[in-house]
Chain A
Amino acid sequence: MSSQSSPAQAARPGVKKKGFRERLELLMNAIFFLCGAVAVAFVLFISIYLIVSGLPAIREIGLIDFLFGERWASTAKDPAFGILPFILTSVYGTAGAIVVGVPVGFMTAMFLSKISGKKTAGVIRTAVDLLAGIPSVVYGLIGMTVLVPAVRVAFDLASGACLLAAIVVLAVMILPSIISVSETALNAVPKEYEEASLALGATEIETYFRVSAPAASSGIAAAVVLGIGRAIGEAMAIMMVAGNVANMPSLFASVRFLTTAIASEMSYSSGLQRQALFSIALVLFLFIMIINVALNVLLKKSRKEG
């Protein structure tokens, strides 16, 4: 139908006219749907692509040799493709960042949510947001020029580029997500719980730790898992401070993560080496998927409690 309405329709206000506006509605709905579908399509495409291109190398090297091999020598005459050093480095590095970052982030969230005045909280929150916005290459740069020399001097090492430096950088990088998710969880704790505790003669700090924090526990757990996700997926900053040698991890050794293993060799790789890098990406992808599922479960639980 055309946009001109017939006299009969014009005489009945409120009755739908099939015209330009309705077709525009349909068109816009379709566009919105397509935009939504793009996100789904990309996830599917990436998953399938990673599986397809990651499996051949695993088949050729052997799953056990690939995952548990301690030697990575991709360009040697007699190449070895064991990624255990990368897996362990990623696990240790992430665990270290969590051990350092979570207490600091949790305390900050507690301070913002319960203790500080509005003005102080505003200043800190702005700083935390800025911290979240700093590009990771800048973290890497500052880590390289300030942290790495400091570690070298402090521990009297030949080089300060090591797992410890990477842990410190990661810990700072995951702070913003830990702070903001924990703070949201702590803010959602009903005031009645805290009042009940204070009325029993508990101090404010006792109340925050023994009532508020447990009541917000699944939200805080979600914050920790989000931090793990951030830390395990980070590449650029840690590549610049960790030394990037495929050693088995130790605190003062130069190490290579799952992410940095891919990033550092991709540009010149070929053949089985290239395929093995895709397999590393697949392993990393599985880690992230598991973490995301855990995160969603925890967030759902935390919303139910709040």
Chain B
Amino acid sequence: MDTHETPVITAKGLELWYGSAQALRNVDIDIPERKVTALIGPSGCGKSTFLKTLDRMNDLVPGVTIKGSVRYRGQEIYSPEVDVTWLRKQIGMVFQKPNPFPMSIYDNIAYGPRTHGIRNKAKLDEIVEKSLRGAAIWDEVKDRLRKSALSLSGGQQQRVCIARALAVEPDVLLMDEATSALDPISTSKIEELIEDLKNSYTIVIVTHNMQQATRISDKCAFFLLGELIEYGDTDQMFSVPRDRRTEDYITGRFG
């Protein structure tokens, strides 16, 4: 294991309940900088829940209780002094279903920067182009930036959503099964994109697709029933899993 990795996000003893149902149990994890970390496990294992604790999107769910510690670059994110809009600007999110706003492509990308106070037209133009290039969709949409984002295909919409997330210059990018609603060609485009993006961003993905996890992730975390069973380098986990349950899952014996 590479010992020089700097953790960007560190969770310690993280527990989460939806009402009285416990969804995360004592999760300890270090997420390294500029790597792709994949969260895998069967449905309902807590991987998406864990992802959403990282940008506090779980705050929106009524009846959630969270205990333990999650630090982002040393800052305890559940501390009352933390400005959640600041956190979410640092830690962007791409959702399972492409969810562009019902506005033009341009306005979708400019939404975040405008929210954070950028009004200058030239500056916004620059951000829009840079973000769309960053999400590898500039060439496909540059002639129709004023068209509705909803007129694009599902795969294009998802890349617009990635561009929209990049436009606020986040540090970390969370992707919650970002390719599961897409066809294989769109999926491979987004996987290539993730390979590129990890040079500049720390990326955490949730995926149901084992091949995808092996193809694009450096680190892999296996969740089961709210517990983090195994966490390590992806190559190692998929060749010599330490835990029997991990082996059973990745070889397809359940899930």
Contact = CB atoms under 8 A, between A and B. Distances in A.
Interface of A: 190, 192-193, 195-203, 206, 210-211, 214-215, 305
Given A201-B86, A210-B111, A305-B102, A196 B164 contact: yes
A203 B85 CA distance: 7
Nearest to A215: B102
With a 10 A CB-CB cut-off, give which of A192, A193, A200, A206 has the most chain B CB atoms. Answer: A200
Q: Which 4 A-B pairs have the closest CB atoms?
A: A201-B89, A192-B99, A199-B93, A200-B112
A201 B116 contact: yes
Contact of B115 (A190, A192, A206, A215): A206
A200 B101 contact: no
A201 B168 contact: yes
Given A190-B99, A193-B99, A195-B57, 13 more contacts: A192-B97, A193-B102, A197-B101, A199-B165, A200-B92, A200-B111, A200-B164, A200-B165, A201-B88, A201-B116, A210-B111, A214-B102, A215-B101
A209 to B, nearest CB: 11
B122 interface: no
A198 B89 contact: no
Interface in B147-176: 161, 164-165, 168
17 contacts: A190-B99, A192-B97, A193-B101, A195-B57, A195-B60, A195-B95, A195-B99, A196-B164, A199-B88, A200-B115, A200-B164, A201-B89, A201-B116, A202-B85, A210-B111, A210-B115, A215-B102
B55 interface: yes
Interface string B111-141: 1100110000000000000000000000000
A197 B111 contact: yes
With a 10 A CB-CB cut-off, give which of B95, B99, B100, B165 has the most chain A CB atoms. Answer: B99
Contacts of B92: 199-200
A206 B112 CA distance: 11
A199 B86 CA distance: 10
A305 B148 CA distance: 13
Interface residues of B, number: 25
B82 interface: no
Contacts of A199: 55, 57, 88, 92-93, 95, 165
Nearest to A190: B99
Contacts of A215: 101-102
A290 to B, nearest CB: 28
A53 B87 CA distance: 69
A203 B112 CA distance: 11
A200 B88 contact: yes
Contacts of A206: 115
Contact of B95 (A196, A201, A211): A196
A197 B102 CA distance: 12
Interface in B225-240: none
Given A214-B102, A214-B103, A200 B168 contact: yes
A59 B91 CA distance: 72
Nearest to A201: B89
Interface string B57-78: 1001000000000000000000
Contacts of B60: 195, 198
Nearest to A204: B60
A149 B81 CA distance: 52
A196 B89 contact: no
Contacts of B85: 201-203
Contacts of A200: 88-89, 92, 111-112, 115, 164-165, 168
A141 B161 CA distance: 56
Nearest to A194: B60
Contacts of A197: 101, 111, 115
B128 to A, nearest CB: 14
A1 B57 CA distance: 70
A193 B98 CA distance: 10
A197 B87 CA distance: 13
